[in-house]
């Protein structure tokens, strides 16, 4: 069976730890990064198709990070995760390459469903 890898990018350690623990319990191999720059370094080493990206990151923001990832790996599935209201931003997120976006706090059932759906295709 091929490993199902997921990348979590968030500057908040508690969010990274929560998502990592929750997704690991469900059998995913989870990687995490605290910044967009660290995420890009990690993606040079690992082939990861599914990711949850915080939008408000230090350095490169989540939208620009998504653009860079999708440009290099068009088949990637990227979900935006934000603590701010995404109202009116859906077109911008879609143009950047996000599959969908979620507001924090993200209930675990939605996290699980998004991860599962990403691997169906």
Confidence at residue 7, expressed as pLDDT on a 0 to 100 scale: 98
On whether the pTM is more than 0.85, the answer is yes
- For the 5-118 domain, the top CATH level (class) is alpha beta
Instruction: Give the whole-angstrom CA distance, residue 73 versus residue 56.
Output: 22
Question: Across the strands, what pairs with 48?
Answer: none
Burial label for 65, CB within 10 Å (0-12, 13-18, 19+), is: buried
- Banded pLDDT at 58 (limits 50, 70, 90): very high
Confidence at residue 85, expressed as pLDDT on a 0 to 100 scale: 64
Least confident piece of the model among 44-58, 66-80, 82-96: 82-96
Residues 6+ apart with CB under 8 A from 17: none
Q: Identify the residue whose tokens are 């990592």.
A: 20
Q: Calculate what percentage of the chain has a pLDDT beyond 90.
A: 82
């Amino acid at each position: 069976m091929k490993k199902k890898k997921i990348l979590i990018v968030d500057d908040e350690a508690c969010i990274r730890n929560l998502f990592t623990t929750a997704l690991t319990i469900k059998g995913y191999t989870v990687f995490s990064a605290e910044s967009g720059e660290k995420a890009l370094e990690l993606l040079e080493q690992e082939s990861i198709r599914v990711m949850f990206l915080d939008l408000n990151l230090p350095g490169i923001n989540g939208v620009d990070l998504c653009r860079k990832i999708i440009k290099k790996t068009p088949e990637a599935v990227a979900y935006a995760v934000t603590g701010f209201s995404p109202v009116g931003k859906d077109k911008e997120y879609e143009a950047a390459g996000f599959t969908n976006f979620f507001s924090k706090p993200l209930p675990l059932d939605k996290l699980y469903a998004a991860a599962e759906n990403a691997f169906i295709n």
